[in-house]
Amino acid sequence: MDFAAAMVLAGMISFVPPTIVLYLVLSPALSKQERRYTAWSFAIILILETILYLYFFHIGIFKMEWLSFKKMLLTY
Burial class (CB in 10 A: 0-12, 13-18, 19+), 39: middle
Domain ranges of the chain: 3-74
The tens-digit pLDDT sequence of the chain (76 residues) is 566 666 666 666 666 666 666 777 777 888 888 888 888 887 887 788 778 878 887 887 776 666 666 666 666 5
Q: What is the pLDDT of residue 14?
A: 63
Q: What is the pLDDT of residue 23?
A: 72
Q: What is the pLDDT of residue 75?
A: 64
